[in-house]
Chains A and B, each alone.
Chain A
Amino acid sequence: MSATTFPNVYHGTLLDEIIHEQKLSRELVKKAAREVFAIIKEGLLRDGVVRINHFGSFKLKRVAARKGRNPKTGEAITIPGRAKVIFTPCQALREMIEPVHAQPIPVPTPVAAAVQVKQPKREEVQPFPEPMPEPALLKIESEASSAIERISDSEEEEQVAESRRGGGREKLIYFGIAAAIIAVVAIKSMPRKVETQPQPVAAPPATEIAREITVVEPIVVTELEIQPAETVSAPVIPESVVDMTAAALAKPELAAEEEVESELAQIIAIQSAQQRVELEVSAEKDSLALEESSFRTEEEAADQIQQPIEVQPISEIAIEEVALAETPAVKQPQVATEFFFTERLYKPKAGNSLWRISRHFYTEPLYWPHIYYANPDTITNPDKLREGRAITVPTLEGGPGSLTTNDREGIAEGYFLVYTFYKGSGHPDAFFALLEAKRYSAEVVERKRHTLTLSKIENIMLDQQEVVANL
């Protein structure tokens, strides 16, 4: 045993110290020590338990007979049952020896810590589905490729198509918003579709969304220039972008739907405003760069200005759908937290009273008759709890200051029971329990008033007692 690491001290030396310090007679101290151990032994045999204040308790425990083996011969033997002494030190002594032992704070192992870190990462990824942007891009690419195939008469345009395909899919995932901003500059000479993917990072602020859209729009323009007939391809991209941003914004903020809606409305307003400005700018740039007829660009610009206006209702509907789909998930946990305190069983210990139990569970000791009312059979005397006999601590729908009618009636019924008990046992303060009952609920008292036999003064006092709202 590791106990050998600490030095031994005999009890006799302790007694010597006591005699020396206190200047008591040696005979008395030694006799007292002998008697104390004798009394503890007697008490153990009599009651099976000896409790000593500020030290601990000695208990006897019966150990049943069991089968064992002689380690030398391997012979099977039965070890007879016996009683053994168990010592449980009191809390003060335990805390004195080892403060950690009183309230052990477990240190998480590295394995457990790693698991903890991983879990939130997975949760973060889930709300923002990655495969979503890909179909939108594929559409763009397919449309672009089909458009290129039709018009691929000249060699120059084929080269442009190759450059577009080559730049695409690999960089798609890795390019962030920073790359998107750089691409805006690059579009002047060589437009790329790669950067159109809105990154599924944590909810982007309004400014970042605006940046993404700046990237989107010029590409639309270039496509239109190649084949002006397919004007349908233009609204596809903003829709997908807006839907994605809406989903990305709405999902992390499950709790506040209204806030999300208001934010999105603001963002859409900013988007539409910026789209119009940027479309005009991009149209001008392209007209200068590619040296095409002014008719086309003007027509396209006019079309594109109209398009974002069409996009807006669609995006709003999408947001509403998202919000509607998420509402049940938000409301479910709120139901569970309605009760201030839910019912449970409690086994009273030595020194417990209804007052203390009420103070512990309800944070308000004056609600103790509520517990008494819920345990008519187990509690015979509300002033004396029986140790070790479980009682039910009933539910409390509201807290202190916000009691519901059910709570008030329960407490009033409890006080009424207390009154009847005190009246039967001749308690001097019995009538005050009745007054207290009326403070909580007048209806309960009025319902049972015909059963009472009150004096004139008591009747007047009971009439004057008013129901208190905040208890």
Chain B
Amino acid sequence: MKRETLLYAIGGISDQYIAEAAPEAKKKKKPLWIKWGAAAACLSLAVLGATLLFNEPASDFDLTRSTGNVSVQYVTADEIPEGAHTSGILAEIPEDELFTMYEIIAFKGTVQSVDNILIEFESGEALLYYSVANLQVEKVYKGDIEENSTLKVLIPYPFSDGIDISNNDTVKQLEVGMTGIFTPKVSNPTDDFHQWGENKIVFADIAPYRFTDGTRWMFLDTDEGLLFDRHSYNGAANAETLDDIEEYVNTMLSDE
């Protein structure tokens, strides 16, 4: 009976430990040829041939600074396994450092699209599901960026209906057409990368800017009001509109 007691007692451990250990869904690769048809299958075989010939994986991005066996492809939401979205523990950053610790840009913009991507190491030995948002700039607060340009920003999460472990992520509420104020980090090829064994994906090869987590760095104007991490951006805790945020961001940037 004793061992059963222990098994039941383990059942009550902290939610955090249960959530972080949620199993990844099994890799279910769709047989793409079914979707594309026979002709496309021939083409993909040709691509595969070429890939094998040059000993480099096929990729939807130009991975000039990344090294080793790594590829990045666009994927649809239903190709994302459940549990792919698990966020780690968020390190606290003091409020003023949110504007100074990284080289950031700051702008008001609208979400044009969000596309899921799969970063694959060693032909599927390790998988990372991320997404890329296209944000159209409306007003610039900081950075060498232009109004009306569209910026690509890497998000360290995919978007799917699968299980959502981190309830608090601001980024999960991101929708096409939504307006917000964003302060992403400028992707620096020397610091911003993910390494798996000998293989390295340099994030700047995917997008010039990145959100280092899905909670901070964005202030979203949602149907249910203004959404952002009020805990981290404590000075704006009472903000109700994007205009309030604009004032706050400008103040924080001028204090640098």
A and B co-occur in one complex: no
